[in-house]
Structure 1
Amino acid sequence: MTTSAKSVKAVKAPAAPTAQSADTKASLLLRKAEGGYAFPALDSVANQFARSLRDLVRALGAPAIQVERAGAEQMSFADWSASAAPAIFWRYHAPPLKGPVLLAAARPLILQLVDIFYGGKGALAAEREELTDAEERFAARLGRDMGLQLAAAWRDKLAMEPELDCVTTDPAKLAAVRADDELFVQRFILRGAPFEGRTIVCAYPLASLRGIAGAEAVLETQAANDSDPLWSGALNKALRDVRLPVRSVLARPEISLVKLLALAVGDIIPLTMPRHVPVTVAGRSFAVGSIGEANGNAAIMIEHIEKGPNHE
């Protein structure tokens, strides 16, 4: 099918001194010139998103997959949705954009990913229009994961948190976009068996991108401290499951060497039980507690938690 598309041409920022301050604020996001717009931020966003998609597909069970970023183009929503079909479409509410972010993937790709996820080799079953319940759940989960990756790709440009609000095989249900709306389209091509040549497409309505000219860009120093949300979530979950040794010393009796050498079976060493005892975690002082009983077992009630060197 032939689509009407025009390439995006980079343009220079206005040279007039009176426009420099406004252009500086928006330079990471958008530049305007006579006859059109350029979106310099989207190049680095696409590079990061391509890496994130590669890692996501690999984590689903295809460790050898690469993702190649193809060229960007502009086209109408009607042309884009027709060229993507048959596809799964994901729509995200993504403020501060004044419109949605759209993702699309060929429906056979979803069927192959489901097969791999459940232990198969990515074999493609007979083509069908309807998805099973398991495939619909997988498509929704994949959409949420891609939304997190998209947010991470934008993080050093704009504080955008895409929220998935629609998953459908029918582009007519993407009601937030009209047929003649112009989209800025980025394509990501999967390389390697069994997905060779499959494509995931990200589309931004041009009106939404033009609307972020006045948005505040996120400082790079802040972005440097941020990490991939999926990686951070997995790390936090793993850390929460780590088991640490918790110990408390109830008594430290002292006796002379003479008495120690004279001890025999049946002898008794008297203990003086303190009111408060220390509690350590992995060898480090953690808290102070008092000795008692809970549910028929000896127990320690935490009365005070120690502060660290930074009072944390």
Structure 2
Amino acid sequence: MSVREKSVKAVKPPAAPTTEAADAKASLLLRKAADSYAFPALDSVAVQFARSLRDLIRALGVPSVQVERASAETMSFADWTAASAPAIFWRYYAPPLKGPILLGAPRPLLLQLVDIFYGGKGSLASEREELTDAEDRFAARLGRDMGLQLAAAWGDKLTLEPELDCVTGDPAKLAAVRADDELFVQRFILRGAPLEGRTIACAYPLAALRGIAGAEPVAEIPGNADPVWASALHKTLREVRLPVRSVLARPEISLVKLLALEVGDIIPIGMPRHVPITVAGRSFALGSIGEANGNAAIMIEQIEKGPNHD
């Protein structure tokens, strides 16, 4: 074999371009099978969120508490809320996710944290369904703080600004999620007295995670590739003010009686059990008339469904 032939054999063809750079990018979704999904990036989010929860609860007055991550699972919204009851739920609007982020905790845990925050030892009085005004305020404050911790936990994956828009003990009021919607649920178990064994859960609708991971087609809009721009746009849109109206009564009288009306005359009306509520001229809900904090008010009893059950 000649020297020329040896040199030719020593030369290797150029390596084909690799996809390592693309694979190195954190992906929020990994398709394993036709109907099975895993979310590897959420593992690191959960690690950071567990640390944040530990620091938050310690700051509330439980300096020895530890937070242990439990295994995540996929389950329906109805199953999750049923297994969590009685619980307090927090719902966050968090663009560019295509759905809300939900947090849930046992109601006794909230009552213990309130007791500790105000100087107690976390003891529980008799169980009750209704929260006091102070407990409601504490639940809202705790929800806002946990929203900040969620944003920090997602920081190096996606720019999220979770905005707390609902705090409730009634799962039916989490109207953005349907009973059969599948959730990816991560659980965080508190260790140490007096909160030993209490659990805080973080649930993501699968549809929301698939949407940002590109497993489902997303409409192309200007700036769609920039999550910061999209987040700012969604936040601005949520500040748009819409007129909300409710018609309490629609009495009808004849033209003869109308022309005969004088100052001091009374038009009788019948108050219906339920009154319609419209937003920007569109039917939104049905409610009942009552009183709240000394003011006339309407309690929403049913949210109307759109043509696509939205």
The 5 A counterparts of 1:188-227 are 188-214=188-214
Moved more, 156-165 or 32-41: 32-41
Contact 2:89–2:105 at 8 Å: present in 1 too?
A: yes
* CA gap 1:189/1:167 in 2 versus in 1, 3 angstroms: same
In the alignment, the residues of structure 2 paired with residue 23 and residue 107 of structure 1 have an alpha-carbon distance, to the nearest angstrom, of 44
The superposition leaves residues 193-236 of structure 1 with CA deviations (integer Å, 9 ceiling, x where unpaired) of 00000000000000000011148699xxxxxxxxxxxxxxxxxx
In the alignment, the residues of structure 1 paired with residue 182 and residue 21 of structure 2 have an alpha-carbon distance, to the nearest angstrom, of 25
Runs of 4+ in structure 1 deviating by more than 3 angstroms, as ranges, are: 17-27, 214-218
User: What secondary structure does 2:212 align onto?
Assistant: coil
* CA gap 1:33/1:22 in 2 versus in 1, 3 angstroms: farther
Match of residue 153 from structure 2: 153
Letter in 2 for 1:52: S
Contact 1:88–1:104 at 8 Å: present in 2 too?
A: yes
Letter in 2 for 1:65: V
In the alignment, the residues of structure 1 paired with residue 121 and residue 66 of structure 2 have an alpha-carbon distance, to the nearest angstrom, of 17
Match of residue 44 from structure 1: 44
Q: CA deviation at 1:32?
A: 1.9
% identical equivalent positions: 77
In the alignment, the residues of structure 2 paired with residue 59 and residue 199 of structure 1 have an alpha-carbon distance, to the nearest angstrom, of 18
* CA gap 1:217/1:152 in 2 versus in 1, 3 angstroms: farther
| Number of residue pairs matched by the alignment | 202
The 5 A counterparts of 1:112-261 are 112-214=112-214
The 5 A counterparts of 1:19-58 are 24=23, 27-35=26-34, 36-58=36-58
In the alignment, the residues of structure 2 paired with residue 86 and residue 128 of structure 1 have an alpha-carbon distance, to the nearest angstrom, of 10
User: What secondary structure does 2:47 align onto?
Assistant: helix
In the alignment, the residues of structure 2 paired with residue 18 and residue 184 of structure 1 have an alpha-carbon distance, to the nearest angstrom, of 35
Letter in 2 for 1:33: K
Match of residue 62 from structure 2: 62
Match of residue 282 from structure 2: none
Name which one, 1 or 2, has greater alpha-carbon Rg. 1
In the alignment, the residues of structure 1 paired with residue 61 and residue 80 of structure 2 have an alpha-carbon distance, to the nearest angstrom, of 29
The superposition leaves residues 21-72 of structure 1 with CA deviations (integer Å, 9 ceiling, x where unpaired) of 9964864322223322211110000000000000000000000000001000
Contact 1:28–1:217 at 8 Å: present in 2 too?
A: no
User: What secondary structure does 1:178 align onto?
Assistant: coil
* CA gap 1:180/1:173 in 2 versus in 1, 3 angstroms: same
Contact 1:189–1:200 at 8 Å: present in 2 too?
A: yes
TM-score, normalized by length of structure 1? 0.61
Match of residue 258 from structure 1: none
Contact 1:101–1:202 at 8 Å: present in 2 too?
A: yes
The superposition leaves residues 61-107 of structure 1 with CA deviations (integer Å, 9 ceiling, x where unpaired) of 00000000100000000000000000000000000100000000000
Check if 1:96 corresponds to 2:100. no
Letter in 1 for 2:43: D
Give structure 1 stretches of 5+ with no counterpart: 1-16, 219-312
* CA gap 1:25/1:205 in 2 versus in 1, 3 angstroms: farther
Match of residue 296 from structure 2: none
Contact 2:188–2:199 at 8 Å: present in 1 too?
A: yes
In the alignment, the residues of structure 1 paired with residue 205 and residue 142 of structure 2 have an alpha-carbon distance, to the nearest angstrom, of 22
Match of residue 72 from structure 2: 72
Check if 1:106 corresponds to 2:71. no
Letter in 1 for 2:29: L
CA RMSD of aligned residues (A): 2.3
* CA gap 1:127/1:213 in 2 versus in 1, 3 angstroms: same
